[in-house]
Amino acid sequence: MVLAGIRSETALTGAAEPFTAEDAAAGIFRVHRRAYRDPSVFAAERDRIWGRCWTYLGHETEVAEPGDYLVRTLGGRELIFLRDVHGQVRAFLNSCPHRGTAVCREPAGNARRFRCFYHAWTFDTEGRLVGLPSPEAYPGDDTFRDRLGLRPVPRLEVAHGFVFVCFDPDASSLADYLGDAAFYLGLVADHSDAGMRVVPGLQQYRSRANWKLGVENAMDGYHFGPSHITFLEYLKRTGFTTSDSGGRGRPLGNGHVVGIQNGHSGRIGFDWEPRFGEAERGRIEENRARLFARMDGERASLIADYSRTVFVFPNLLLFDIEGISIRQLEPVAPDLTDIRALALAPADEPPEALDLRLKTLVSFIGPGGLATPDDLEAQEAIQRAIAATAGDTRPGVDWNDVSRGMATDAAGDDVRTIDEGRVRAFWRHWASLMEDPEGA
């Protein structure tokens, strides 16, 4: 067997066992369970992944007006995400350059100034130090103000309204990093000629499991039938039938992956089914006609006739299915992950249509819907079992198998969503960063 991948926990400091084991000829791909539970792996991820990759911060419409701000944590770093008074989107470390205090203590709001409560240092929306008690104690030429402004993130770029930051000043451009994934972000942005906006309201919840299990779950169509039988039975009662066998997925490079379904449910505004009600049919037909009138037919069909689950490594999950949901992963500990979920909708969508969109969205992938509780239970059950096998050195016991569909991988074709090719694409990139972060 050909083994590839980084070493396990004592291995980040010199152990012998690899994290991933792959034998393409035999059709075997395995992941060592220490990757999900080991504190030294978690610490290394903070540096090699969250500290060096582009990570999703938020959508530009979340800070729509000058002075709008949010406090958001990425890879353990608390940031102020804002739009300055001139309309530019910015992000600063939420830490006073004076003595380190968190400057912004409200989760969201609108402000023209940010005042540190500890010593009353005050900063404008461009991060400049504009006020402090007893400034005469500092150099009279005010050069200290340039030195002690809020610390911006090293890199910030926007793609189709999605705002990304990178803490590595020498990283390649966001366009290079996203590669083919940018195409799928563009499809979402093109849903409406009026533009897309994040709907006010945040769903925030926790998974008592490793963040990578959340990625795996979203990229794994194999679990859909067994885990979500309640939802499938509901669809049957409302006159809709579905199959999980026809979807296709593909790796997009840099750990990004997409799954695509033809004729999937929940395309509010593009695809009608009985559970949406007859009143929705006319609006859908009008939206579809507008879509095909403003772009070429092939692109319009990709938007209207297919649904997608997109993962942008390492923290953005975009569910373009039951409505459009943005889900953001924030690792807290090896066995704890925060999830932020928001809805994206056309900026000019009428209230009754938006209401239906949101109801449909939360009924399936909302934290209290017919899918997400199933998924969280599965991830947490995996985490408990992974903890239970720690130290068991019998061959194969402390490994997860991710081999389904390896023959399709070897042929270089798109992978079926009910196979595990998208999960393998994620793990290969993860291992490349953890093994050789400089050369990957």
pLDDT tens digits, residue range 300-340? 999 988 889 999 999 999 999 878 999 999 999 999 999 99
Mean pLDDT within 399-409: 89
For residue 13, the model assigns a pLDDT of 40
What percent helix, strand, coil does the chain show, rounded to 5?
Answer: 35, 25, 40
Q: CA 27, CA 408: separation in Å to the nearest integer?
A: 10
For residue 16, the model assigns a pLDDT of 46
For residue 437, the model assigns a pLDDT of 53
Write the DSSP assignment of 30-88 as a string of letters: EEETHHHH-HHHHHHHHHHTTTTS-EEEEEGGGG-STTEEEEEEETTEEEEEEE-TTS-
pLDDT tens digits, residue range 139-169? 888 888 989 999 999 999 999 999 999 999 9
Mean pLDDT within 211-228: 83
For residue 246, the model assigns a pLDDT of 63
Helix (H, G, I), strand (E, B) or coil at 350: coil
Q: Are 164 and 157 in contact (CB under 8 A)?
A: yes
For residue 263, the model assigns a pLDDT of 66
pLDDT at 265 over 60: no
For residue 5, the model assigns a pLDDT of 43
For residue 439, the model assigns a pLDDT of 46
Domains of the chain: 61-166 (2.102.10.10), 179-435 (3.90.380.10)
**What b/e string do you get for 86-112 counting C-beta neighbours within 10 Å, with b at 16 or more?**
eeebbbbbbbbbeeeeebbeeeeeebe
Q: Are strands 306-312 and 256-262 parallel, antiparallel or unpaired?
A: antiparallel
For residue 236, the model assigns a pLDDT of 64
- Structure-derived torsion over alpha carbons of residues 327, 331, 335, 337, reported in degrees to the nearest 10: -30
pLDDT tens digits, residue range 26-53? 999 999 999 999 999 999 999 999 999 9
pLDDT band at 238 (very low <50, low <70, confident <90, very high): low
**What b/e string do you get for 326-361 counting C-beta neighbours within 10 Å, with b at 16 or more?**
bbbbbbeebbbbebbbbbbbbeebeeebbebbbebb
The pTM of this model reads 0.92
Comparing 7 with 275, the larger pLDDT belongs to 275
